[in-house]
Amino acid sequence: MYLAHRTFPATRLRRMRADAFSRQLMQEHRLAPQDLILPVFVQEGDNQREAIPSMPGVERLSLDLLLQEAREIADLGIPAMALFPVVGVEGKSELAEEAYNPNGLVQRSVRVLKEAVPELGIITDVALDPYTTHGQDGIIDEQGYVLNDRTVETLVKQALSHAEAGADMLAPSDMMDGRIGQIRQVLEQEQLVNTRIFSYAAKYASHYYGPFRDAVGSAANLGKADKKTYQMDPANSDEALHEVAMDLVEGADMVMIKPGLPYLDIVHRIKKELGVPTFVYQVSGEYAMQMNAIEKGWLSEESMMEALLCMKRAGADGILTYYAKRAAQILRGV
């Protein structure tokens, strides 16, 4: 038997680990700047930057400052940026009409970014939570239940407004049923055939999104409500395959699993069983835990690189991470 021959002392697994060169040769997975997508928070104004206390190193930026950031990350070899708007009270309503304003913050940002840094892929978030007074990702009835089909109608308008502004990739993060198909249909109708759809296909109702909700200012609006009637139960794995398969059939080009580190079994299953472009989101809560420990000196910075590498080993083709710029700098030795 094959294994019988691979025993001590003929086989010493430590031999290959003895020097850096042989460790390098047998390395099965690698992290590169090309694997990373940087999520960013954009706000109105000029020369405005606001720190997010729970997320060391992450800031809400006005568009002029975001342009500089876009230039820098493109130069580091990061292929894309995912845009999240910080919307003030004036942009929030029951029906989230601001979501599809052709001159809204996201739509304007996309136009300016594509003009200034054309090679950087711009991904927009398709979901209503920044625009609703109640902080849910969709339109609700009197009981507060998020109405699926009514929400999808608005998401389609939002998606089209992003695509018309020049967004390269639309990322629906709302978890409504059937939205990928409806968005794909309208993109085809409008001959926007190369606008990619990056589906948050397996998005769990996670408690790790807290710092993000603070960053975009939806936490207070959401209050004690949760998103369990549309986001997935953390107990489920088969259901993730079902979600991803449906989104692919409806026309998604890439799929995402979210959160990251506690959900790598899901990443592994999806990549293995479906073999499609599979991405993972290291979400705000994961980032906050690790970065706050690093800031205190309780963990080393290398722990972050390790977490990202482990996501690739699990099967992710790429990673959305607030650490993308720093990781790319480390990888490039700058």
Stretch that binds ligand PBG, among 90-98, 205-213, 242-250, 263-271 (CB under 6 A): 205-213
Specify whether 224 is catalytic: no
Q: Minimum CB separation from ligand PBG for residue 283, in Å? A: 4
Catalytic residue among 92, 114, 203, 325: 203
Applying CB under 6 A, among 173, 182, 290, 321 the residue interacting with ligand PBG is 173
Closer by beta carbon to ligand PBG, 222 or else 310: 222
Applying CB under 6 A, among 213, 268, 313, 326 the residue interacting with ligand PBG is 213
Beta strands in 103-159 (DSSP E): 121-126
CA angle centred on 179, ends 176 and 183, rounded to 5°: 155
Applying CB under 6 A, among 35, 69, 98, 125 the residue interacting with ligand PBG is 125
What long-range pairs does 55-62 form, CB within 8 A, spacing at least 24?
Answer: 55/211, 55/215, 55/284, 55/287, 55/288, 55/291, 55/322, 56/291, 56/292, 56/294, 56/295, 57/291, 57/322, 57/323, 57/326, 58/215, 58/287, 58/322, 60/86, 60/215
Q: Minimum CB separation from ligand PBG for residue 172, in Å? A: 9
Number of residues that bind ligand PBG (CB under 6 A): 11
Closer by beta carbon to ligand PBG, 209 or else 279: 209
Assess 209 for contact with ligand PBG (CB under 6 A): yes
Pairing status of strand 254-258 against strand 278-281:
parallel
Pairing status of strand 59-62 against strand 49-51:
antiparallel
Closer by beta carbon to ligand PBG, 116 or else 219: 219
Specify whether 258 is catalytic: yes
- What is the C-alpha to C-alpha distance for residues 295 and 303, in angstroms, rounded to an integer? 12
Assess 127 for contact with ligand PBG (CB under 6 A): yes
The residue whose two tokens read 């390395």 is: 27
Peptide bond just before 259 cis, omega within 30 deg:
yes
Closer by beta carbon to ligand PBG, 116 or else 210: 210
Closer by beta carbon to ligand PBG, 212 or else 279: 212
Pairing status of strand 59-62 against strand 36-43:
parallel
Binding site for ligand PBG (CB under 6 A): 125, 127, 129, 137, 173, 209, 212-213, 227, 283-284
